[in-house]
Amino acid sequence: VVGLLALRDLRHRACMLGLRDYVNKNGFKNVVLGLSGGIDSAICAALTVDALGEERLRTVMMPYRYTSKDSLKDAEDCARALGCRYDIVPISEPVEGFRHALTQLFEGTQE
């Protein structure tokens, strides 16, 4: 068990190092991350905070008509727990614009 914990810690450190190096070598001041309220984006947010600090992470929840209230709450709770900035940017209008623009490509298919 100790070996597995050490291996997990090494993987975590490797991910932090890779992320930190990538962000810094590319000259990015900050990172913007879509926070959905799910475990995947929560892990990415936590890893980013570990690698760069909460002051360099801005999270954005982009709700659409299928986004649940639980997802909104979970995303906000995650950002609050990590101490990073959290914004909500609804995407219904842009999504509908893309759907309209792509209508011809999907003619005859079901939604």
Nearest to 84 by CA among 49, 110, 36: 49
Interatomic CA distance for residues 23 and 30, integer angstroms? 8
Mean pLDDT within 35-61: 98
Residue 110 is predicted with a pLDDT of 77
Q: Which fold has domain 2-102?
A: Rossmann fold (3.40.50)
Residue 109 is predicted with a pLDDT of 82
**Among positive and negative, which fits the CA dihedral 61, 65, 66, 68?**
positive
Global pTM value:
0.85
